[in-house]
Amino acid sequence: MRASFVSSEVVNGLRRNVSMTIAMILTTAVSLTLLGGGLIVVRKVDQAQESLRDAADVVVYMSEDVSANDPECANDPCSGIRSELEQASGVRSVQYLNRQAIFERATEEFSNQPQLQELVRPKALPAALWVELGDNVTPRAIKEQFEGRTGIGSINDQSQFVRNMVNKLNDVRDGTFLIAALQAFAALLLISNTIQLSAFNRRTETGIMRLVGASRWYTQLPFLLEAMVSGIIGSVAATGLLMVLKEAFLDGLMKPLTNANLLTPVSYADVAFVAPILVLVASAISGLTGYLTLRLYVRI
Amino acid sequence: MIRLEHVSKTYKTLARPALDDVSVSVDKGEFVFLIGPSGSGKSTFLQLLLREEVPTRGRVIVADWNVAKLPRRRVPKLRQRVGCVFQDFRLLNNKTVFGNVAFALEVIGKPRHTIRKVVPEVLQLVGLDGKADRMPVELSGGEQQRVAIARAFVNRPLVLMCDEPTGNLDPDTSQDIMLLLERINRTGTTLVMATHDHSIVDSMRRRVVELSHGQVIRDDARGVYGVGR
């Protein structure tokens, strides 16, 4: 097979069909941008879940009295509550964090918000028992069992918050994927149309190729490569679009979430992570669509 | 070289068969005219040889290949051994004379050095040396048909099929084209030519197979277009 011949056919085909080619590239780029956005959301949610996995499922904040006078949780009521929690069914671990430990943790969490860091004082924070639960117990059960006990200030169900946030991010991901799927469908139809148009424009060439004994593969390859080249250009454009969107919108939109340490910011590493996936998806989809179109609609 | 054994071809859209129990044998190096009115089955005959169509019944043998039974992937190999020339030339207007002829070799993966050697030789054979860089639109009808013949012959096929190659040409140019085809035939290439051109068939006195309503009604070794002419 002569690569120079095939590549010149591909370039000629793309040039002859330039308006359809541009439309195909743009549609592919938009759908892949959405797909890339969805993949980045998935990545961010995974990272958030990973970082929140270490967090407690339930935080039992101690009263002012306990926080101020029992830094080791050595006396009642703190020690009693701790041992009761440790023995409660479904509790995996209990960790006591006194005021100083809570302060250090808060300082670390607000490391990128110096104003908040300034406001935090050890005495303003209550000591807490961090409770990690197993699968067979709900945070609500723990809350109902211990709420209102002497020595306890309040009980915070952390997992509910994490679940809510993950659910919302999953909704965003699903919505993005849905739009990406619709766009991808439009891109498929456009790829199919472009190939049919391209084959029609070059019916004399393909007719001659068939008659002089060119193999089906040799005859189809330029069309397939045209579709794949357009798809790959679309995926590169989509990567560029993701970078532009990151700079222009995403960084600003996500600032409240990233500042609160709920999500890590979208980085160029995230875009670089999805870029090869987009190229692969674009090549596979455009190649497959091209192949099926040629087999079903075009006599070669 | 070519053998049709009790070949019939029926199209769904036609009430009567395009070919009806046709048996014809063509030896290597023969020159055969295929004549008959429009709709007599000449084009179907040629399409069967090229595996553009498959017979409904019977066997079609071309160069020891049972064409109808040939697996799809082997069809290109058959077509590399059977060249075709058409009335409408079917040249690529965006390629030069050289490019048009080279195209037939490029698409079957022949190396560039072979193409550079073979194409000028065949252009000389068809009388187009010195016109390799011309575009088809700059050529006369006869010259364009020569390019088409060069393209069909450049891969040295065993059989050359011509479907009314002089149909668009004036009588003098037609004579020149026939001389060229005769020259190609003398190289040992079997030639099957469908035509309506009385004068050419009558003047050349070659084998004539006449079709009518899909049947062979005459097969003369040195025939003329119409009996009694």
Query: What per-residue string of b and e applies to A156-185 under the rule 16 or more CB within 10 Å gives b?
Result: bbbbeebeebeeebeeebeebbebbeebbe
Asked if A212's CB is within 8 angstroms of B79's CB, the reply is yes
User: Residue B146 corresponds to which amino acid?
Assistant: R
Superfamily designation of domain B2-90+157-220: P-loop containing nucleotide triphosphate hydrolases (3.40.50.300)
Nearest-neighbour CA in chain A from B79: distance (Å): 5
Residues in B closer than 8 angstroms to A218, CB to CB, are: 107-109
Task: Please name the residues between 217 and 236 in chain A that touch chain B, using a CB distance below 8 Å.
Answer: 218-219
- Phi, psi (rounded to 5 degrees) for B54: -115, 145
Helices (H) and strands (E) in chain A, counts: 13, 4
Q: What is the pLDDT of residue B229?
A: 44
* Residue-range definition of the domain harbouring residue A114: 58-133
Q: What is the pLDDT of residue A119?
A: 67
The least confident of A130-144, A238-252, B75-89, B182-196 is A130-144
Residue in B closest to A222 by C-alpha: B107
**pLDDT tens digits, one per residue of B104-139:** 998 888 888 999 999 999 999 999 988 999 999 999
Q: Does A110 fall in a domain?
A: yes
Asked if A212's CB is within 8 angstroms of B155's CB, the reply is yes
Tell me if B7 sits within 8 A of B58, measured CB to CB: yes
CA distance B42 to B26: 15
| Residue B101 CA to its chain's centroid (Å) | 16
Lookup: tokens for B63: 């160069």
A21 phi-psi bin (left φ>0, alpha ψ -120 to 50, beta other): alpha
**pLDDT tens digits, one per residue of B47-74:** 999 898 899 999 999 988 899 888 888 8
Nearest-neighbour CA in chain A from B113: distance (Å): 12
Query: Where a domain ends, among A133, A152, A177?
Result: A133
Q: Do residue A101 and residue A169 come from a single domain?
A: no
Residue A208 forms contact with B (CB below 8 Å): yes
- Phi, psi (rounded to 5 degrees) for B216: -80, 115
Tell me if A114 sits within 8 A of A161, measured CB to CB: no
Lookup: tokens for A127: 């000591």
Residue B112 forms contact with A (CB below 8 Å): yes
Q: Do residue A172 and residue A242 come from a single domain?
A: yes
Tell me if A165 sits within 8 A of A44, measured CB to CB: no
Q: Do residue A124 and residue A88 come from a single domain?
A: yes
Q: Does A156 fall in a domain?
A: no
Instruction: Return the number of other C-beta atoms located less than 10 Å from residue A272's C-beta.
Output: 12
Q: Is the pLDDT higher at B30 or at A156?
A: B30
Q: What is the pLDDT of residue A54?
A: 54
Q: Does A141 fall in a domain?
A: no
Residue written as tokens 């991901």?
A: A173
Q: How many domains in chain A? A: 2
Query: Where a domain ends, among A114, A133, A152?
Result: A133
Per-residue pLDDT of chain A (300 residues; tens, 9 = 90+): 577 778 888 887 788 778 888 888 888 898 888 888 888 887 877 777 666 655 557 888 888 877 777 878 888 888 888 888 888 777 888 888 887 787 887 777 666 666 666 666 767 778 888 888 776 767 777 777 778 878 888 887 766 676 777 777 778 778 877 887 877 787 788 788 877 877 787 788 888 888 888 888 888 888 888 889 989 999 999 999 999 998 888 888 777 777 766 677 888 998 999 999 999 998 998 888 888 888 877 665
CA distance B64 to A263: 73
Q: Does A120 fall in a domain?
A: yes
Q: What is the pLDDT of residue B228?
A: 46
Q: Does A200 fall in a domain?
A: yes
Residues in A closer than 8 angstroms to B107, CB to CB, are: 5, 208-209, 212, 214, 218-219
Residue in B closest to A299 by C-alpha: B52
Asked if A205's CB is within 8 angstroms of B90's CB, the reply is no
Residue A105 forms contact with B (CB below 8 Å): no
Q: Do residue A222 and residue A191 come from a single domain?
A: yes
Residue in B closest to A202 by C-alpha: B92
CATH of the domain at A121: 3.30.70.3040
Q: Does A243 fall in a domain?
A: yes
CA distance B77 to B79: 5
Q: Do residue A85 and residue A20 come from a single domain?
A: no
Residue B162: closest CA among B183, B148, B176 = B148
Q: Which secondary-structure segment (H or E) carries A187?
A: helix A158-201
Q: Do residue A180 and residue A239 come from a single domain?
A: yes
Q: What is the pLDDT of residue A1?
A: 58
Q: What is the pLDDT of residue B151?
A: 94
Query: Where a domain ends, among A85, A118, A133?
Result: A133
Predicted TM-score (pTM) of the model is 0.68
Question: CB neighbours of B93 closer than 8 A, spacing ≥ 6?
Answer: B135, B136, B137
User: Residue A212 corresponds to which amino acid?
Assistant: V
CA distance A232 to A164: 37
Residue B84: closest CA among B5, B22, B150 = B150
Residue B228 forms contact with A (CB below 8 Å): no
